[in-house]
Structure 1
Amino acid sequence: MTAKIIKSDDVNVTLGYDDGSFEEVPRAALNLGEFAPDGTVLEVYQNGDQKVYAISKTAVAVDASGKHKVNKLAYVLCALLFGGLGVHKFYAGRIVMGIVYLLFFWTVIPAIIALIEGIVAATKTADADGNILV
């Protein structure tokens, strides 16, 4: 079963399950460390009365067209500051393209392309959560 972090604060985390139900659990019960932002997909395992939560390694926010959903500000900053190394591609889940950028960073061509990609991403309209599709 999978759940998505809907809302979190320092004490509690609200989880939304695939079946449409919601659950509020103490942050400490998740054992996810300090960083588990809203939108994180979790695998939920039932062990008797106890639930075990783990960050899903397979869940990547991808829409039907194959585009990846990323935070607009983070993507734009990665593209503009470290785009020549392909950081924005790795962030968007496009590992192969990130590796291509790394292999050719010395030509400066990936930096030019990343600058253009960063500007294009900055002009896209973000959704209510501040995410865009790339």
Structure 2
Amino acid sequence: MGKKIIKLDFEDVVIANEDGSTTRAQYEWFNFKPEIGDIVDVFEDGDELIIHKVEKTSENLQDKININIVNENNNTQTVGGYVQHGRVVNKWLYFILAFFLGGVGAHKFYSGFTGKGIMYLVFFWTTIPGIIAFFTSIATLLKPADQNGNIVVNS
């Protein structure tokens, strides 16, 4: 281990040796600006000293830790949200109810639209709900079913 600068005077620098003694050195013998706490190597050259600053090669664990955190998200969400409006019912059961019992609103009760089912019951004597149910049954046949045979019914 090198020696350490412990005091700066006006005319010279005090360097602590490893054995506890001190050495005084003139400012012109340094090839750098000395500061208290610097570690130096001292070489004798006749009556003069050659003093070099020791570069810190820290064996400290903090100097060896290199943390590189990259927190990036390059993903883009391309899938839009699909929201189903209505109720999921069996296509063929809904068709049969609309075609045969649509005039009294059976298909509306089956699909969970109780209010509309009641309206069909109230006005079934006008045959208007029956005509609407007939067209609803045709529209049901034209709707594509999913893999389970279900369709989405809107009101």
Shorter-chain TM-score bucket reads: 0.5 to 0.7
* 2:146 is the alignment partner of 1:127: yes
TM superposition score normalised by structure 2 = 0.45
2:148 alignment partner, SS class:
coil
Please give the alpha-carbon distance, in whole angstroms, between the structure 1 residues aligned to 2:126 and 2:152: 28
> Rg bigger for which structure?
2
Q: Return 5+ residue gaps in structure 1 as ranges.
A: 1-62
Partner of 2:108: 89
Please give the alpha-carbon distance, in whole angstroms, between the structure 1 residues aligned to 2:127 and 2:102: 10
Deviation at 1:95, TM superposition (A): 0.3
2:89 alignment partner, SS class:
strand
1:78 alignment partner, SS class:
helix
* 2:90 is the alignment partner of 1:71: yes
Q: Return 5+ residue gaps in structure 2 as ranges.
A: 1-81
Per-residue CA distance 1:52-89 (angstroms, 9 max, x = gap): xxxxxxxxxxx934311000000000000000000000
Deviation at 1:117, TM superposition (A): 0.4
* C-alpha RMSD of the superposition: 1.2
Q: Is the Cα–Cα contact under 8 Å of residues 84 and 152 in structure 2 kept in the other structure?
A: no
Deviation at 1:96, TM superposition (A): 0.2
Count of residue pairs the alignment pairs up: 72
Identity of aligned residues (%): 47
Please give the alpha-carbon distance, in whole angstroms, between the structure 2 residues aligned to 1:106 and 1:65: 33
Please give the alpha-carbon distance, in whole angstroms, between the structure 2 residues aligned to 1:128 and 1:65: 16
* Partner AA of 2:131 in structure 1: I
Deviation at 1:110, TM superposition (A): 0.1
* Partner AA of 2:112 in structure 1: G
1:125 alignment partner, SS class:
coil
1:84 alignment partner, SS class:
helix
Structure 1's 65 and 129: CA in aligned 2 closer, same or farther, altered over 3 A?
A: closer
1:126 alignment partner, SS class:
coil
Structure 1 residue ranges, 4+ long, deviating more than 6 angstroms after superposition: none
Deviation at 1:107, TM superposition (A): 0.2
Please give the alpha-carbon distance, in whole angstroms, between the structure 1 residues aligned to 2:92 and 2:126: 26
* Partner AA of 1:119 in structure 2: I
